[in-house]
Amino acid sequence: MARRKIIRITATSLLVLLVLVTATLGGIGWYYSGQLLDVDRWAREYPDTALGRDGQAIVLSESVATTQHGTLGLIWPGGAAKIGDIATNKDGRVERPLLEGSAPPDGTKVRVETSVYEGDPKTTLGLAYRDVAVPTELGDMPAWFVPAANAADTWVITVHGRGAKREEALRVVPQLHSAGLPVLLITYRNDVGAPASPDGLYHLGDTEWHDVEAAIKYAQNQGARKIVLYGWSMGGAIVGQTLARSSVAAAVNGVVLDSPVTNWSQTLDLQARNRGVPTWLTPVAELVSGWRADIDFDRFDLVRNPPALKPPTLLFHGSADQTVPAQSSRDLATAAHGLGWPLQYVEIPGADHTSGWNVATDTYRNALADFLTRSVGAKP
C-alpha cells in the first residue's frame, strides 16, 4: 500500500514537473517569438550627444554607435549630416569629419545611422523622384520611384530589412542612378504608412514576398522588362522567398543581397548567444513563432531549399556581423556552384550588420558596378 502511494506521488510529481517545464519553455518561446515577430515602429530615439566642432570635425560622446567605423549618418530632431570614419577617440570624445550637411548645436541629442540618410531622394541626394503607390492584396504600399536619365527597361527594386525603412537603400541609389537604372524603393506590410498584416505581426519574409511580387508587377505595368532585386537583412529573406514562390520570379535577372537572412535558425542561434541564452532554445522559439504566424522556418534555408530560379547574385556580408551570421552567407557561397547558382560573394572585414558599404565604400561600389555591368548590362 505504501509503495503504491509512493508511486502515485512520484507520478504526480513528474506530471507537475512536466507541466511546469512545458509552461516555462512556452513562456520563454513566447517571449523570444515576440522579439522576432512583434512590429518595431521605429521609435525616434537620440541616445548620443553632439559635443561641438573641432575645425571640420564633429565631436560626439563615446558609445558603441559613435565608434562604429566607416561613413555614417548623424540624425537629430530637425537636422542630419553625413560623417566620416573616426579621426580620434580619446577621453570619451569621438571626432569624425563632417562630409555633408552642417553640425548640430553643442549638446544636441543625436542618433548615428548606418543607412546614412534620413529623408527622401530629393532632399538627401538631390535626385528627382515620384511618390507612387504599389497596389497589393492588403492595399496600396507607398514607394519612391527614382527614374533614370533615359528610358530603361531594367528596374531595381529595393527591399529594406526588419525595423528599417526604405531610406536604407538611399546610400546606393546614386550609383544605381548613374548606371542608368530606374529605382523603386518600396515599403511592405507593417511599415509606417503601409497596411498592416492581418495579424499585425512580421512573418519574416513568409508573407512579405507578396508585396515584392506586387512591386514587380507594378514595374512591369510601367514598362519594366527586367528586374534587379536588392535586399538588406530580412529583405534578403523576402527576396529569397520571392524567387522561390512568386509567379513573376522569371522577370528577375539579377539579385544583390546585403547581410541577408538565408537561414533563420542560424540567425536565431547567433542572437541567442548575444543574449546569453542557450541555443537549444532556438527550436522552441521557432516552434512558438511558427504556431503564432504560421511560418515554416525550413523553407528559408537557401542551401537546403534553394529557389528553382537562381539569377546572377551578388552577396555582401560583414565578417563582424552580430545580427545575421556571416557564416550563413559563406555556406551559401560555398554551396552555390553545386546548386547551379551564379553567385559572387564579397565579405567585408570588420563590418557589422549592413555596414559593408559604410566600412569599405570603394570595395563595395566596385563590386556592385562590375556586377551590374556584367549581369544586367548597366552602364559601367
Q: What is the pLDDT of residue 15?
A: 54
Into which CATH architecture does domain 121-263+301-376 fall?
Answer: 3-Layer(aba) Sandwich (3.40)
Name the β-bridge partners of 97.
57
Q: What is the pLDDT of residue 18?
A: 46
Gyration radius of the chain over CA positions: 23
Q: Measure the CA angle with vertex 261, ends 255 and 240; round to 5°.
A: 40
State the average pLDDT over residues 107-130. 96
Q: What is the pLDDT of residue 13?
A: 61
Question: What is the distance between the alpha carbons of residues 132 and 123, in angstroms, rounded to a whole number?
Answer: 17
Per-residue pLDDT of 252-309, as tens digits, reads: 999 999 999 999 999 888 887 877 777 767 777 777 777 787 899 899 999 999 999 9
Enter the pTM of the model. 0.91
Q: Please give the grid coordinates belonging to residue 244.
A: 522561390
Q: In the chain, what are the domain boundaries?
A: 48-113, 121-263+301-376
Q: Are 49 and 110 in contact, with CB atoms under 8 Å apart?
A: yes
Q: What is the pLDDT of residue 22?
A: 47
Q: What is the pLDDT of residue 286?
A: 77
Per-residue pLDDT of 162-194, as tens digits, reads: 989 999 999 999 999 999 999 999 999 999 999
Question: What is the distance between the alpha carbons of residues 331 and 268, in angstroms, rounded to a whole number?
Answer: 16
Q: Please give the grid coordinates belonging to residue 92.
A: 570619451
Residue 111 has pLDDT above 90, yes or no: yes
205, burial (CB in 10 Å: exposed 0-12, middle 13-18, buried 19+): buried
Q: What is the number of alpha carbons within 13 Å of residue 139 lying toward its C-beta?
A: 10
- CA 238 centroid distance within chain: 10
Average pLDDT of every residue of the chain:
90
- CA 237 centroid distance within chain: 9
Residue 17 has pLDDT above 50, yes or no: no
